[in-house]
Amino acid sequence: MTAAARPRRRIRNEHRVAHAVLLATLLVVLVVSIFPYVYLLSTALRPRAEIFRFPPTWLPDTWAPQNFVNVWSVVALGKWILNSVFIAGTSTVLTLALAIPAGYALARLNFPGRRVFRQILLITQMFSPAILIIGLFRFMTSVRLIDTPWSLILTYSALSVAFSIWFLEGYYKSVPEEIEEAAMVDGCSRTGALFRVILPSMGPALVATTVFAFIWAWNDFVIALTFISSPGNRTLPLGIYSFLGQYMIEWHYLMAAALIAVVPVVILFISIERWLVKGMTAGAIK
């Protein structure tokens, strides 16, 4: 082997090693990510008698797929799903209704306090919702919205609108102002240019914002636990918590309900994955 060929061979070997390490790392991440769902599915398919068996096994001796059917009659699972869909969907619409014009104003308009307002938006993202719960609870009680879906809708919208405004502002800035100017020359007002020209071109950004607001409202447990007390007003995460009784935990039903709760989110991500990736990277590549 010539002296010139040795460096090339060494580089190829280094690339192979780096490639193998990368694949091994990805495999470990994949296993760690999938393991909770495998455990959920394994427990959900067991009869109750096998759940506490020792030593535990990966697969049940007796399969119980009827758990996924029985759970609908054991608890008001359908009602909880409808409540979650209504609350998450309505709060998402309200968030977009506020974030779309507010983000546009920050990106395009010059007004007193613009920089301060942007800084306040960023500061609000530093606070955990948990430290705001007592104040929010007292407020919702004073306006008589506690234990109603609207207490959650308003709270979820208030907590997600700041990030949504900040995210959409970055996308608005990536859109050339000449597009709006051309629309206004053709007779559009600024509002008309926003809704007729800009919004139709920012589908990926709107999808990403919608997913963020919806998933935040769909998955929340702490705020719902604080605000909701009536069984009929429970959201799906709060309803699943009801399987944890004082003297007994129905693990097989709990795991089955948890998997059912994951399915809509998985379907949502699979159906809009392409749009979601575009929306998250649009501001950086335009």
Question: In this predicted model, what pLDDT tens digit does every residue of 30-39 receive, in sequence order?
Answer: 888 888 888 8
User: Highest mean pLDDT: which of 46-50, 125-129, 162-166?
Assistant: 162-166
Residue 87 and residue 235 in contact, taking contact as beta carbons nearer than 8 Å: yes
Q: Domain segments of the chain: what residues?
A: 5-44, 76-285
Find all residues with CB under 8 Å of 56, minimum gap 6, and list them: none
Looking at residue 8, its pLDDT comes to 65
Q: What is the pLDDT of residue 283?
A: 44
Question: What is the reported pLDDT for 278?
Answer: 55
Each residue's pLDDT tens digit, 49-70: 788 777 777 788 888 888 888 8
pLDDT, residue 286, reads 41
CATH, range 76-285: 1.10.3720.10
Tell whether the torsion through CA atoms of 213, 216, 218 and 223 is positive or negative.
negative
Residue 273 is predicted with a pLDDT of: 67
pTM value is 0.80
Q: How many residues does the chain have?
A: 286
Q: Which residues of 25-49 are buried (b: 16+ CB within 10 A; e: fewer)?
A: eeeeeeeeeeeeeeebebbbbbeee
pLDDT above 70 for 284: no
Residue 87 pLDDT grade (very low, low, confident, very high; cuts 50, 70, 90): very high
- 3-class secondary structure, 188: coil
Q: Is the dihedral of CA 20, 277, 177, 109 positive or negative?
A: negative
Mean pLDDT of 140-166: 92
**Omega before residue 55 within 30° of 0, cis:** yes
Residue in 206, 239, 174, 249 with CA at minimum distance from that of residue 96: 206
* Top mean-pLDDT range of 62-66, 150-154, 237-241, 250-254: 150-154
What is the rounded CA–CA span in Å between residue 170 and residue 250? 47
* CA dihedral over 89, 92, 96, 97, signed as positive or negative: positive
**Distance between CA atoms of residues 258 and 43, nearest Å:** 11
Average of per-residue pLDDT across 200-207: 82
Which residues are CB-contacts of 160 (< 8 A; sequence separation ≥ 6)?
Answer: 91, 95, 212, 213, 216, 217
Most confident of 76-90, 160-174, 177-191: 76-90
Confidence of residue 285 (pLDDT cuts 50, 70, 90): very low
Residue with tokens 């694949």: 23
Residue 127: count other Cβ atoms within 10 Å of its Cβ.
Answer: 10
pLDDT grade for 157, boundaries at 50, 70 and 90: very high
